[in-house]
Chain A
Amino acid sequence: MSPVGDTPATPPPTVVPDPAVDPAPAGPELALTDLPAVGATLAPTRAALADFVRETGLSPDRIPDVLLAVYEAMANIVEHAYPADRPGTFDVRAAHTPGADRLTVTITDHGDWKSEVPDPASCRGRGLLLMRSCSDAADVHTGPDGTRITLQWRCDPRASLPDDELGG
């Protein structure tokens, strides 16, 4: 039996809106999901993000900041979120909200940073410092299901970015 005139439409990707992160009307979005939390994932993901960010109108001299901050967030997941013998996955979502003139990138894992015993030789402190200093607003939210890092940049450097729009 062949289907007649009733081909189901491809269901749209399921996106759970997060009003705490992105209250403005949607603009261009990039969703990279179920990325393996291994080092080899990072460079291609950075390249994909670079392609996306170049289209947002963000000042070109801020693009290296975006790529470095997001890279450090991802590197932290690769190195700390999961046990070495049980690597997990993470998601990277980027959204440009033209109305709010803002680029928001969220990096979400399903692991447990707390299980990591701080290693004095690790570069974790420097990475998180870069993540914060290269973004206009940064929030790390750890819940029972993992950690969500939200990074934001003003596309217009003259505009202000209210800190209170980032939930704790």
Chain B
Amino acid sequence: MRTDRILTDMDMPGSASSTLSFDVDVTEGVVVMHARGEIDVVTATEFEKAVEQATARYRGGVLIADLSDVSFLASAGLAVLVRCSEEFPEDGRFLVVAQGPATLRPLELTGLTESLEVFPTVDAALSTV
């Protein structure tokens, strides 16, 4: 059995495009940015902009990037997490929530669970604030 396919626009249903959306909650100086979708080559820029905007709006606080509903995390997204953490204001904290094969595994395989503050749940992250 053999399948030969050339992907064209007609073969690409909308669901095949990578999508990323955000919800932001703010409680007592803690910004929780819930990301939903895929963080890949195409969407990494949107992710970085969203974190930067949240950082600028809630200066000096704590930002939690909640990746619980992220179904795919590529190295382009890892690079954004690293930059956001490095560029975060020194008087604040940048925390990451990740669990499961889609998000925690790439963080672990690249050693970033050592250099980033990574928690399994939002509650676990909040408990350290």
Q: Do A and B come from one complex?
A: yes
- Partner-B contacts on A (CB < 8 A): 13, 26-35, 39-48, 52, 61, 64-65, 67-68, 71-72, 75, 78-79, 121-124, 126-127, 129-130, 133-134
Bound together, the chains give a CA A31 to CA B5 distance in angstroms of 6
Count of B interface residues, CB-CB < 8 Å: 29
- Partner-A contacts on B (CB < 8 A): 1-7, 11-12, 15-18, 38, 40-42, 72, 74-76, 78-79, 101-102, 105-106, 109-110
Q: In whole Å, how far is B80's beta carbon from the nearest beta carbon of chain A?
A: 9
* Interface contact A64-B101, CB-CB below 8 Å: yes
* Interface contact A32-B5, CB-CB below 8 Å: yes
A71 surroundings in chain B (CB, below 8 A): 40, 72, 74
* Interface contact B105-A64, CB-CB below 8 Å: yes
Bound together, the chains give a CA A34 to CA B5 distance in angstroms of 10
* Interface contact A67-B72, CB-CB below 8 Å: yes
Tell me what chain B mostly uses at the interface: helix, strand, loop, or mixed: mixed
- Closest Cβ neighbor of B42 among chain A residues: A39
* Interface contact A134-B1, CB-CB below 8 Å: no
* Interface contact B75-A43, CB-CB below 8 Å: no
A32 surroundings in chain B (CB, below 8 A): 5-7
* Interface contact A126-B11, CB-CB below 8 Å: no
Q: In whole Å, how far is B90's beta carbon from the nearest beta carbon of chain A?
A: 21
Q: In whole Å, how far is A37's beta carbon from the nearest beta carbon of chain B?
A: 11
Given known A35-B7, A48-B7, contact A68–B74 (CB-CB < 8 A): yes
Given known A42-B41, A61-B101, contact A75–B74 (CB-CB < 8 A): yes
* Interface contact A130-B106, CB-CB below 8 Å: yes
A33 surroundings in chain B (CB, below 8 A): 4, 6
* Interface contact B41-A75, CB-CB below 8 Å: yes
* Interface contact B7-A126, CB-CB below 8 Å: no
Bound together, the chains give a CA A29 to CA B1 distance in angstroms of 7
A47 surroundings in chain B (CB, below 8 A): 15-16
Question: Nearest 4 pairs between A and B by C-beta?
Answer: A123-B79, A127-B75, A44-B16, A43-B18
- Closest Cβ neighbor of B109 among chain A residues: A133
* Interface contact A68-B106, CB-CB below 8 Å: yes
Given known A39-B41, A130-B110, contact A44–B11 (CB-CB < 8 A): yes
Given known A64-B101, A75-B74, A127-B75, contact A45–B7 (CB-CB < 8 A): yes
Bound together, the chains give a CA A126 to CA B41 distance in angstroms of 13
A75 surroundings in chain B (CB, below 8 A): 40-41, 74-76
Bound together, the chains give a CA A72 to CA B110 distance in angstroms of 13
* Interface contact B40-A43, CB-CB below 8 Å: yes
A-B contact pairs, 26 of them (CB 8 A): A13-B2, A29-B1, A29-B2, A30-B3, A31-B4, A32-B5, A33-B4, A39-B41, A39-B42, A40-B42, A42-B18, A42-B42, A43-B18, A44-B11, A44-B17, A46-B72, A47-B16, A61-B101, A65-B101, A75-B74, A78-B41, A122-B79, A123-B78, A126-B78, A126-B79, A133-B109
